[in-house]
Amino acid sequence: MALVEAVDGLFGVLDAGEIPAHTADWSNGLVAVMSSGALIVSGVSDGPVRVTVATSAGPPPTPSDRGDGWEEVIEVTVHAPTGRLRVQSLERGDVRDLPLLSPHGSGPYRLRLHARGRTIAPDKVCDEPVEDYLLHLWPAGPPDETRILRASEEIERSLCTPAPSPGPDPHAPDARTIVERERLLRGGNPPG
């Protein structure tokens, strides 16, 4: 387990630090899969969240009931073109206390994301963690559909709301922030 700094309501499962935000599918409200990696939507706007990861050679058992305390469970396919998939704070980079998420090299991985606590302090800045995430990854075959194994009201609302148009508007303040972060993570200079 490690503390990961959520920034602007996001942290990442990124391959070599790449954030191809223009390819993000925001439709389920919890994990936005991109052409490489994924962004995870936290409840808090800014602050630490607790993240635990596990990798395996195959899928773990499907959660069967709510007795485990997880409020949301979603399974998606995440692509790791370079095989360097890691949990990242969008501001601080790799979380070195957590292992490499793509130990079998480049290619697609299934990510089963468990979350709880996202409604405790929505859109707030927190100094102490109030949210927990469990990320379980294993090598995948051909890309599979998103599976909602346990949904919250927020996920249900996201699924009923039309997805935003593909790619951020480079002139919108939030989109510009993502584009600037992407440029900085790639080693470029922010626009002046």
Contact 184, 92 (CB under 8 A): no
Region of residue 64 (phi > 0: left; psi between -120 and 50: alpha; otherwise: beta): alpha
* Within-domain flag for 168: no
* Within-domain flag for 149: yes
**Cα–Cα distance for residue pair 32/12, rounded to 1 Å:** 9
* Within-domain flag for 22: yes
- Its pTM stands at 0.79
Domain limits at 142? 2-154
Nearest to 29 by CA among 153, 129, 145: 153
What's the pLDDT at 166? 47
Q: How far is CA 13 from the centre of its chain?
A: 5
The tokens of 144 are what? 């599979």
What's the pLDDT at 76? 96
**Cα–Cα distance for residue pair 61/9, rounded to 1 Å:** 29
Name the pLDDT band for 66 (thresholds 50, 70, 90): low
Q: How far is CA 129 from the centre of its chain?
A: 17
What's the pLDDT at 171? 44
What's the pLDDT at 173? 46
Domain count, the chain: 1
Give the neighbor-by-neighbor strand order of the sheet with 85-89. Answer: 31-33, 38-41, 10-15, 85-89, 93-94
* Within-domain flag for 31: yes
* Within-domain flag for 190: no
- For 72, how many CA atoms within 13 A lie in the half-sphere containing its CB? 26
Contact 103, 175 (CB under 8 A): no
What's the pLDDT at 153? 74
Contact 88, 11 (CB under 8 A): yes
The tokens of 9 are what? 């309501």
Over residues 79-135, the pLDDT tens digits come to 999 999 999 999 999 999 999 999 999 999 999 999 999 999 999 999 999 999 999
* Within-domain flag for 114: yes
Q: What would the mean pLDDT of 41-59 be, rounded to a whole number?
A: 96
Over residues 133-188, the pLDDT tens digits come to 999 999 997 777 888 777 777 776 766 765 554 444 444 445 445 545 554 444 44
* Within-domain flag for 39: yes
* Within-domain flag for 142: yes
